[in-house]
């Protein structure tokens, strides 16, 4: 389902809020509906007839209607959250779901695009929707009420007033898509100009040294010319909007003044009726039209651009790909290749790997060689550029996301703890686990004493594990994974902040747990504890037991010798 469809469904799903809004709108429309009629009565039945008290009474009635209208506006502000807050929640759920279903999230940092979708685009949609429901809705109600008031004064006056106003509204609505396109094109042109100029200014020495002044100048000039054309298109659309709204507000005044003298002279209209019509046009319709143009021209355009942007970067409910049910917990990699750019050298090339339940694999190699990349490929968080990874015979990309999250657990070096109790943090991947299971997992990985120091499972954990040591945060993260039902566990230097004995205890606990264990080693001691070792050394990969690699791989033997000499 598209974002726009989600948006419409979320708005339509709160009929009680709309019912209240409709009632408030009726109350808010009273001044616009009655203003001209009350002025006519005040003139014809009061001041014009020499009855000042009657005229004053009608004006007081007008003031009372204004008070009621203000009360309606106040109620709208108080009830608008009933509609827009659930809308925001629905869009946030949509964005979070899209981020979680994203096959290859950004590498090496938080998903800034996902954060921007929530903190910028969704908030723009929320605020713009609230603005439209409060301001644009109120202005439309005012226009409709004023036209109804003119018709109530005398149907004859509706002909010079209603067609220009309705035509202006229709033309303005037809112009909105062009305004939205122009605004978006101008914003993109501004960005391109800033990008081109920034690149040239940053690399000015290189431009001069390479004699590329003409090429650089041409690129910047082309961006500036496109920006100028976009600005002209935006200005043209804005001027056309001003002309349409101005004509829609001014033409009724001209037409009323043109036809009413003769109608008053032959008795078809009274002076109070004409004055009431002018009150409707000048004091109600004209300000409402200009306000509608200003509000809609800014708020609605922001809403349209934000919804379009969310739609462009939204993947829908779930990726539309085949779903498979894994048979067992085997991990198979065939021809696995990955590079971080079209022209970059592969960090992994044609890797074949088989892991069975009960296997314990240690991955070692220099920093930056591709160990964490391999972890991402095995868990499905990074898409390979060649080959594939299968879990239980099913390509990892075709696993149902919920099934994959239950089957595979991945813990990086810098883990995350959220504000809450120890229980809530440990049970994140196993929400139904009993306390005994959580405590047993904590004890197994060596976090039992830490849990007791925090006050047990009811103890508090601050945001990000603030106040805990880096090792303490890692212990809680390890206990969380140990308590889960995941049969494939990948630890990416997840014990880097622990001492040697604590690291050994945690790894042995996971090895005894069953399933597949892959350890991206921080210390080479992890290789000794593993059943097999995968060496990444830049010249290829080597796979074997610790003893086999010592005998067959000089680079592995040198690594172990250097490590043992330094410990």
* Containing structural domain, residue 482: 331-566
Q: How far apart are the first and last CA of the chain?
A: 58
The pLDDT, as a whole number, for residue 118 is: 60
Strand order, beta sheet including 516-520: 408-411, 488-492, 516-520, 360-364, 532-536, 541-544
Q: Which two tokens stand for residue 58?
A: 């009608």
Q: Check whether residue 297 and residue 440 sit in a common domain.
A: no
The pLDDT, as a whole number, for residue 433 is: 93
Q: How far is it, in rounded angstroms, from Cα 496 to Cα 34? A: 76
Q: What is the pLDDT of residues 133-180, one digit of tens each?
A: 777 777 778 888 888 888 888 888 888 988 998 898 889 888 888 887
Task: Tell me if residue 244 falls in helix, strand or coil.
Answer: helix
Instruction: Read off the pLDDT of each residue in 476-491 and give the average, rounded to a whole number.
Output: 95
Q: What is the pLDDT of residues 36-73, one digit of tens each?
A: 888 888 888 888 788 888 889 988 988 888 888 888 77
The pLDDT, as a whole number, for residue 19 is: 79
What is the pLDDT of the chain when averaged over all its residues? 84
Which of 44-58, 89-103, 294-308, 505-519 shows the highest mean pLDDT?
A: 505-519
With vertex at residue 455, the alpha carbon angle to CA 452 and CA 458, rounded to the nearest 5 degrees, is 115
With a CB cutoff of 8 Å and minimum separation 6, the contacts of 557 are 549, 550
- Short-list 290, 289, 252, CA closest to 274: 252
Task: Tell me if residue 229 falls in helix, strand or coil.
Answer: helix
The pLDDT, as a whole number, for residue 459 is: 94
Q: Check whether residue 125 and residue 242 sit in a common domain.
A: yes
| Residue 25: inside a domain | yes
| Residue 324: inside a domain | no
| Residue 136: inside a domain | yes
pLDDT of residue 221 exceeding 90: yes
pLDDT of residue 241 exceeding 90: no
Task: Please give the full DSSP string across 315-330, using - where no structure is assigned.
Answer: --SS--S--B---SS-
Tell me the residue ranges of DSSP E strands in 392-452: 394-395, 408-411, 420-421
Q: Check whether residue 371 and residue 303 sit in a common domain.
A: no
Final residue belonging to a domain, choices 246, 279, 312: 312
Higher pLDDT, 376 or 318: 376
Q: How far is it, in rounded angstroms, from Cα 453 to Cα 399? A: 40
Q: Check whether residue 279 and residue 405 sit in a common domain.
A: no
- Number of Cβ within a 10 Å radius of residue 19: 10
If residue 76 lies in a helix (H) or strand (E), which one and from where to where?
helix 52-79
The pLDDT, as a whole number, for residue 315 is: 53
* Domain count along the chain: 2
Instruction: Read off the pLDDT of each residue in 129-135 and give the average, rounded to a whole number.
Output: 77
The pLDDT, as a whole number, for residue 361 is: 95
Q: How far is it, in rounded angstroms, from Cα 121 to Cα 305? A: 9
pLDDT of residue 382 exceeding 70: yes
For residue 116, count CB atoms less than 10 angstroms from its CB and return exposed for 0-12, middle for 13-18, buried for 19 or more. middle
pLDDT of residue 252 exceeding 70: yes
The pLDDT, as a whole number, for residue 234 is: 87
pLDDT of residue 491 exceeding 90: yes
Q: What is the pLDDT of residues 462-473, one digit of tens each?
A: 988 899 999 999
Q: What b/e readout covers 298-332, taking b as 16+ CB neighbours within 10 angstroms?
A: ebbbbbbbbbebbeebbeeeeeeeeebebeebbbb
Higher pLDDT, 559 or 305: 559
Q: Check whether residue 42 and residue 177 sit in a common domain.
A: yes
Q: Check whether residue 355 and residue 438 sit in a common domain.
A: yes
Task: Tell me if residue 556 falls in helix, strand or coil.
Answer: helix
| Residue 245: inside a domain | yes
Pick the range with the lowest mean pLDDT from 30-44, 216-230, 313-327: 313-327
Q: Check whether residue 239 and residue 92 sit in a common domain.
A: yes
| Residue 320: inside a domain | no
pLDDT of residue 203 exceeding 70: yes
Q: Check whether residue 237 and residue 358 sit in a common domain.
A: no
Q: Check whether residue 289 and residue 407 sit in a common domain.
A: no
Q: What is the DSSP letter of 399?
A: B
Signed CA dihedral, 51, 56, 61, 65: sign only: positive
Final residue belonging to a domain, choices 280, 312, 344: 312
Task: Tell me if residue 256 falls in helix, strand or coil.
Answer: helix
Q: What is the pLDDT of residues 345-363, one digit of tens each?
A: 888 888 899 999 999 999 9
Alpha carbon separation from 432 to 418, 438, 452, 509 (Å, rounded): 18, 10, 21, 22
Instruction: Read off the pLDDT of each residue in 222-234 and give the average, rounded to a whole number.
Output: 91
Half-sphere exposure of 552 (CA within 13 A, CB side): 12
Q: What is the pLDDT of residues 531-564, one digit of tens each?
A: 999 998 877 788 999 999 888 888 888 888 887 7
If residue 130 lies in a helix (H) or strand (E), which one and from where to where?
helix 123-131
Alpha carbon separation from 37 to 157, 259, 265, 268, 519 (Å, rounded): 13, 19, 21, 16, 82
Pick the range with the lowest mean pLDDT from 245-249, 286-290, 303-307, 329-333: 303-307
The pLDDT, as a whole number, for residue 199 is: 84
Going by pLDDT thresholds of 50, 70 and 90, the confidence category of residue 290 is confident
Are the beta carbons of 438 and 426 closer than 8 angstroms?
A: yes
pLDDT of residue 309 exceeding 80: no
The pLDDT, as a whole number, for residue 502 is: 95
Percent of the chain with pLDDT over 90: 29
The pLDDT, as a whole number, for residue 566 is: 57
Phi, psi dihedral angles at 329 (to 5 degrees): -120, 30
Final residue belonging to a domain, choices 312, 347, 370: 312
The pLDDT, as a whole number, for residue 489 is: 95
Q: Check whether residue 346 and residue 427 sit in a common domain.
A: yes
Percent of the chain with pLDDT over 70: 92
* Residue labelled with tokens 């120091």: 453
Q: The whole model's pTM is what?
A: 0.58
Q: How far is it, in rounded angstroms, from Cα 16 to Cα 240? A: 39
Going by pLDDT thresholds of 50, 70 and 90, the confidence category of residue 496 is very high
| Residue 418: inside a domain | yes
If residue 7 lies in a helix (H) or strand (E), which one and from where to where?
helix 3-12
Q: Check whether residue 466 and residue 531 sit in a common domain.
A: yes
- Number of Cβ within a 10 Å radius of residue 181: 18
The pLDDT, as a whole number, for residue 109 is: 46
Q: Check whether residue 46 and residue 93 sit in a common domain.
A: yes
Task: Tell me if residue 104 falls in helix, strand or coil.
Answer: coil
| Residue 323: inside a domain | no
The pLDDT, as a whole number, for residue 498 is: 93
Domain holding 173: CATH number?
1.20.1560.10
| Residue 318: inside a domain | no
The pLDDT, as a whole number, for residue 79 is: 73
Q: What is the pLDDT of residues 420-443, one digit of tens each?
A: 999 999 999 999 999 999 999 999
The pLDDT, as a whole number, for residue 356 is: 94
Q: Which two tokens stand for residue 441?
A: 């997992």
Q: How far is it, in rounded angstroms, from Cα 285 to Cα 291? A: 10
């Amino acid at each position: 389902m598209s974002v726009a469809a989600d948006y419409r469904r979320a708005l339509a799903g709160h009929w009680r809020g709309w019912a209240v809004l409709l009632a408030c709108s009726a109350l808010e429309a009273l001044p616009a509906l009655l203003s001209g009629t009350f002025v006519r009565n005040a003139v014809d039945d009061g001041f014009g007839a020499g009855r000042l008290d009657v005229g004053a009474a009608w004006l007081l009635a007008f003031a009372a209607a204004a008070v009621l209208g203000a009360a309606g506006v106040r109620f709208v502000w108080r009830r608008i959250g009933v509609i827009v807050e659930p809308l925001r929640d629905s869009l946030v759920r949509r964005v979070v779901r899209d981020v979680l279903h994203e096959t290859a999230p950004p590498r090496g940092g938080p998903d800034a695009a996902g954060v921007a979708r929530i903190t910028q685009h969704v908030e723009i949609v929320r605020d713009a929707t609230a603005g439209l429901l409060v301001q644009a809705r109120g202005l439309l109600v005012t226009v409709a009420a004023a036209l109804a008031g003119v018709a109530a004064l005398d149907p004859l006056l509706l002909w010079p007033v209603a067609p220009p106003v309705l035509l202006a509204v229709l033309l303005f609505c037809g112009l909105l898509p062009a305004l939205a396109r122009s605004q978006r094109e101008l914003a993109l042109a501004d960005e391109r100009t800033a990008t081109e100029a920034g690149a040239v200014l940053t690399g000015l020495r290189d431009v001069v040294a390479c004699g590329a002044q003409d090429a650089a100048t041409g690129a910047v000039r082309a961006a500036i010319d496109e920006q100028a054309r976009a600005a002209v298109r935006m200005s043209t659309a804005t001027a056309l909007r001003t002309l349409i709204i101005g004509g829609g507000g001014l033409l009724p005044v001209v037409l009323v003044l043109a036809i009413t003298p003769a109608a008053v002279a032959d008795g078809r209209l009274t002076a109070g009726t004409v004055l009431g019509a002018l009150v409707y046009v000048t004091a109600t319709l004209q300000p409402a039209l200009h306000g509608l143009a200003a509000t809609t021209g800014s708020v609605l355009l922001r809403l349209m651009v934000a919804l379009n942007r969310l739609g462009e970067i939204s993947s829908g409910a779930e990726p539309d790909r085949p779903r498979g049910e894994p048979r067992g917990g085997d991990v198979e990699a065939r021809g696995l290749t990955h590079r971080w750019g079209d022209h970059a050298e592969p960090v992994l090339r044609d890797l074949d790997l088989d892991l069975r339940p009960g296997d314990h694999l240690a991955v070692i190699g220099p920093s930056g060689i591709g160990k964490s990349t391999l972890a991402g490929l095995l868990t499905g968080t990074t898409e390979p550029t060649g080959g594939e990874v299968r879990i239980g015979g099913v390509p990892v990309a075709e696993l149902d996301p919920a099934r994959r999250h239950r089957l595979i657990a991945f813990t990086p070096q810098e883990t995350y703890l959220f504000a809450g109790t120890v229980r809530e943090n440990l049970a994140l991947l196993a929400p139904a686990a009993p306390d005994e299971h959580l405590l047993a997992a904590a004890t197994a990985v060596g976090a039992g004493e830490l849990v007791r120091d925090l006050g047990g499972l009811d103890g508090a954990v601050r945001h990000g594990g603030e106040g805990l040591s880096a090792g303490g945060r890692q212990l809680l993260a390890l206990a969380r994974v140990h308590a889960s039902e995941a049969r494939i566990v990948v630890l990416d230097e997840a014990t880097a902040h622990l001492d040697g004995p604590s690291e050994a205890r945690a790894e042995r606990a996971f090895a005894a747990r069953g399933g597949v264990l892959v350890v991206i080693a921080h210390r080479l001691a992890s290789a000794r504890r593993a059943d097999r070792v995968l060496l990444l050394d830049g010249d290829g990969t080597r796979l074997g037991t610790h003893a086999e690699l010592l005998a067959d791989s000089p680079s592995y033997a040198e690594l172990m010798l250097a490590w043992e000499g330094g410990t």
